[in-house]
Amino acid sequence: MSPHLFCFGFGFSAQALAARLLGRGWQVSGTSRGAAPAGERHASGAMLYGFDGGSQDAVEEGALTAALARAGHLLVSVPPAAAGDPVLTAFGDRLSARSDVSWVGYLSTTGVYGNHDGAWVTEESALRPGSARSRQRAAAEAAWLDIWRRAGLPVHIFRLAGIYGPGRNALETVLRGDAKRIDVPGQVFGRIHVEDIAQVLEASMAKPRPGRVYNVSDDLPAAPAEVIAFACRLLGEDPPPLQNLEAAALSPMARSFYADNKRVSNARLHQELGVTLRYPDYRSGLTALAAELKR
- Which has the higher per-residue pLDDT, 193 or 38? 193
**Residue 84 has what DSSP assignment?**
B
Side-chain-side CA neighbours of residue 251 (13 Å): 3
Strand partners, 107: 158
Q: Is the pLDDT of residue 56 over 50?
A: no
Split at pLDDT 50, 70, 90, the class of 85 is: very high
Q: Is the pLDDT of residue 173 over 70?
A: yes
105, 74 Cβ separation under 8 angstroms: yes
- Which has the higher per-residue pLDDT, 287 or 53? 287
Alpha-carbon span 54 to 80, nearest angstrom: 12
Counting residues of the chain whose pLDDT is more than 70, the rounded percentage is 97
- Note the pLDDT of residue 196: 98
Split at pLDDT 50, 70, 90, the class of 58 is: very low
- Note the pLDDT of residue 248: 72
Alpha-carbon span 79 to 161, nearest angstrom: 15
Q: Which region holds residue 245: left if phi is over 0, alpha if psi is between -120 and 50, else beta?
A: alpha
Alpha-carbon span 196 to 179, nearest angstrom: 24
Average pLDDT of the residues of the chain: 92
Contacts of 215 (CB under 8 A, 6+ apart): 110, 121, 122, 123, 159, 161, 264, 265, 266, 268, 269
- Note the pLDDT of residue 217: 98
Alpha-carbon span 227 to 211, nearest angstrom: 34
Q: Is the pLDDT of residue 177 over 80?
A: yes
CA atoms 173, 46, 72, 77: torsion sign? positive
Q: Is 183 exposed, middle or buried (0-12, 13-18, 19+ CB in 10 A)?
A: middle
Q: Which region holds residue 118: left if phi is over 0, alpha if psi is between -120 and 50, else beta?
A: left
Structural domains for the chain: 4-162+194-217+265-277 (3.40.50.720)
Strand partners, 41: 47
Helix, strand, coil percentages, rounded to 5, for the chain: 40, 20, 40
Alpha-carbon span 215 to 116, nearest angstrom: 15
- Note the pLDDT of residue 295: 58
- Note the pLDDT of residue 190: 95
11, 77 Cβ separation under 8 angstroms: yes
Q: Is the pLDDT of residue 15 over 80?
A: yes
Q: Is the pLDDT of residue 129 over 50?
A: yes
Residue pLDDT, tens place only, 213-269: 999 999 999 999 999 999 999 999 999 999 887 777 777 777 777 888 999 999 999
- Note the pLDDT of residue 93: 92
DSSP string, 144-183: HHHHHHHH---EEEEEE-EEEBTTBSHHHHHHHT---EE-
Nearest CA to 37 out of 55, 13, 17, 64 is that of: 64
Regarding beta strands 47-50 and 40-41, do their DSSP bridges make them parallel or antiparallel, or are they unpaired?
antiparallel
14, 7 Cβ separation under 8 angstroms: yes
Regarding beta strands 242-243 and 181-182, do their DSSP bridges make them parallel or antiparallel, or are they unpaired?
parallel
Split at pLDDT 50, 70, 90, the class of 73 is: very high
Residue pLDDT, tens place only, 18-31: 999 999 999 999 99
Counting residues of the chain whose pLDDT is more than 90, the rounded percentage is 80
- Note the pLDDT of residue 57: 45
